[in-house]
């Protein structure tokens, strides 16, 4: 038969748009700039926020207390913690950090009713910025972006699918499932057309 | 189109973010195998379907993905309130006791 060996390669779900080759230095020439922040680490953490054992153990493992107010997020030294639901958090970090983070959590939460899942293959993030960034997002979602204050993350609609949205560096981070990446990117590009759209060089941000 | 206050996200959101999940507080028979077909059929299909105030469940499918309870007027879409299942239970029981 074949002598081909199975040699999987890690690719972002927006790989086929070749965003890296199209990216430009961000300036005032476009109304909207966007690019993917590819291949981050995503860990899903579930547990009872009212259980002090759980919150203490998570704090010990993460170095930061879990946000517990509805729709809140905190930035940490290693990434970000989002409260997605009263008993569910999403931890986003550099991909290289995710195994260590997961192991720390699992070790700290032994015997405590909880769940830690590496969901890094399941999500990606797009950063949208520029003077018309909020105009474009208003075409895509039913959420009133004026209510999206700093420190807040909301799950809402994006076209016919759903995303998590929050403010970041004078722009917005859009976090969504890998399976909808193609749809969401095209929707965003199409919505941005009237404002002039550029693929941003995000550098290391 | 209307706006529902999700008790878990603690803010008003567009109806589009939610899914209707049916009448609230329908008790599932504890021992389904002892039910007659008629009783089981009633449990599955016989809903109150009132014109007026209705206790129903909604799911915040695009947001926190939790279920909660809304008291909505089916005639004019007025909403009396939205609560978590636990919070709504007492109010629901009190109202049913009056009928
Ligand atoms: Zn909600």
pLDDT for A16-32, tens place per residue?
Answer: 999 999 999 999 999 99
Q: What is the pLDDT, as a whole number, of residue A1?
A: 61
Q: Assess A57–B contact: CB distance below 8 Å, yes or no.
A: no
Question: Same structural domain for residues A63 and A162?
Answer: no
| Residues of chain A found within 8 Å of residue B10, distances taken between Cβ atoms | 70-71
Residue whose pair of structure tokens reads 């926190």 in the numeric block: B64
For B22, phi and psi rounded to 5 degrees?
A: 90, 180
State which residues of chain B have pLDDT below 50: none
Cα gap A183→A181, rounded to integer Å: 5
Query: Please, are residues A200 and A34 in contact by the beta-carbon 8 Å criterion?
Result: yes
pLDDT at A3 over 80: no
Average pLDDT over residues A89-110: 98
Is A3 inside any structural domain?
A: no
Q: What is the CATH number of the domain that holds A194?
A: 3.30.1360.120
Helix A133-140, helix A181-192: angle, nearest 10: 120
CATH number of the domain enclosing A66? 3.30.70.1520
Residue A8: its pLDDT value, please? 86
| Percentage, residues of chain A above pLDDT 90 | 94
Secondary element (H or E) of residue A163:
strand A161-168
Whole-angstrom CA distances from A123 to A43, A81, A178, B44, B67 are 10, 15, 5, 37, 24
A128 and A188 inside one domain: yes
For residues A165-192, give the mean pLDDT.
Answer: 97
| Average pLDDT, integer, range A2-10 | 84
Which residue in A147, A149, A155 has the most chain B C-beta atoms within 10 A of its own C-beta, making it the best mutation to test that interface?
Answer: A155
Closest listed residue to residue A47, CA positions, set A101, A89, A93: A89
Number of domains in chain A: 2
- Residue A23: inside a domain: yes
Kindly state whether B16 is in contact with chain A, defined as any CB-CB distance less than 8 angstroms.
Answer: yes
pLDDT at A204 > cutoff 70: no
Q: How far is A169 from chain B (nearest CA, A)?
A: 23
Q: Which residue has the tokens 């941000």?
A: A205
Q: Which fold has domain B3-98?
A: Folate-binding fold (3.30.2270)
Contacts of A70 in chain B (CB under 8 A): 8-11, 64
Mean pLDDT of chain A: 96
In chain B, the residue whose alpha carbon lies closest to the alpha carbon of A142 is B14
Q: What is the pLDDT of residue B1?
A: 80
Q: B16: which chain A residues are within 8 Å (Cβ-Cβ)?
A: 142, 157
- Answer yes or no: is A77 within a domain: yes
Whether A168 shows a pLDDT value over 90: the answer reads yes
Domain residue extents for chain B: 3-98
Instruction: Output the six-digit token pair for A66.
Output: 């879990």
Last residue of a domain, one of A73, A96, A118: A118
* ipTM, interface predicted TM-score of the complex: 0.90
Q: How far is the CA of A113 from the centre of ligand 1 (A)?
A: 23
Contact (CB<8Å) A162/B61: yes
Is the same domain home to A195 and A136? Answer: yes
Q: Which of A67, A86, A118 is the last residue of a domain?
A: A118
As given in the structure block, the two tokens for residue B24 are 């609230």
Distance CA B26, CA A127 (A): 44
User: Do A33 and A52 fall into the same domain?
Assistant: no
C-beta separation of B74 from B52 below 8 A: yes
| Residue A166 resides in a domain | yes
pLDDT digits (tens, 9 = 90+) for B44-62: 999 999 999 999 999 999 9
C-alpha of residue A24 to centroid of ligand 1, in Å = 38
In a domain, A10, yes or no: no
A9 is a domain residue: no
Co-location of A29 and A51 in the same domain: no
Nearest-by-CA chain B residue for A154? B63
Chain A interface, best mutation among B17, B65, B68, B82, by max A CB count within 10 A:
B17
Q: Is residue A2 part of a domain?
A: no
Domain boundary among A118, A133, A151: A118
CB contact at 8 A, A161 and A180: yes
Which domain, by its residues, includes A164? 19-38+123-200
CB atoms within 10 A of CB A14: 18
Q: How far is B25 from chain A (nearest CA, A)?
A: 22
A149 at interface of B, judged by CB pairs closer than 8 A? no
String of DSSP letters for B51-77: SSEEEEEEE-TTTT--EEEEEEETTT-
Structure tokens given for A112: 């405590």
Query: Closest approach of chain A CAs to the CA of B18, in angstroms?
Result: 9
Q: DSSP for B11-55, please give it.
A: EEEEGGG-EEEEES-PPPPS-GGGS-HHHHHHHHH-----SSEEE
Using CA atoms, how far apart are residues A160 and B24, in angstroms rounded to an integer?
Answer: 27
If you average pLDDT over residues A28-45, what whole number do you get?
97
Residue A70 CA to residue A54 CA, distance in Å, equals: 18
- DSSP codes, B81-95: EEE-HHHHHHHHHHH
Helix, strand or coil, per DSSP, at residue B40:
helix
* pLDDT classification of A205: cutoffs 50, 70, 90: very low
Q: Are residues A81 and A127 in the same domain?
A: no
């Amino acid at each position: 038969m074949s002598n081909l060996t199975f040699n999987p390669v890690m690719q972002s779900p927006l790989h086929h748009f070749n965003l890296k080759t199209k990216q430009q230095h961000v300036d005032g020439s476009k109304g909207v700039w966007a690019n993917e922040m590819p291949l981050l680490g995503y860990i899903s953490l579930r547990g009872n926020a009212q259980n002090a054992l759980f919150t203490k153990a998570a704090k010990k493992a993460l170095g930061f207390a879990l946000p517990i107010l509805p729709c809140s997020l905190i930035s940490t030294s290693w990434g970000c913690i989002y409260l997605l639901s009263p008993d569910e958090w999403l931890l986003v970090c550099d991909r290289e950090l995710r195994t260590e983070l997961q192991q720390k959590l699992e070790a700290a939460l032994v015997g405590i009713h909880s769940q830690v899942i590496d969901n890094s293959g399941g999500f990606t993030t797009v950063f949208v910025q520029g003077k018309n960034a909020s105009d474009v997002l208003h075409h895509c979602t039913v959420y009133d972006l004026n209510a999206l204050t700093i420190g807040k993350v909301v799950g809402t609609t994006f076209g016919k699918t759903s995303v998590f949205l929050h403010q970041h560096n004078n722009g917005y981070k859009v976090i969504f499932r890998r399976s909808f990446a193609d749809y969401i990117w095209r929707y965003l590009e199409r919505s941005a057309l009237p404002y002039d759209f550029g693929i941003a060089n995000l550098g290391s941000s | 189109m209307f706006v529902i206050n999700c008790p878990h996200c603690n803010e008003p959101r567009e109806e589009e973010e939610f899914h209707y999940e049916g009448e609230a507080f329908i008790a599932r028979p504890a021992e389904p195998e002892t039910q007659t077909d008629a009783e089981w059929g009633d449990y599955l299909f016989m809903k109150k379907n009132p014109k007026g105030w209705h206790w129903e469940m909604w799911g915040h499918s695009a947001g926190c993905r939790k279920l909660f309870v809304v008291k909505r007027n089916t005639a004019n879409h007025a909403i009396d309130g939205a609560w978590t299942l636990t919070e709504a239970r007492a109010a629901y029981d009190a109202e049913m006791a009056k009928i």
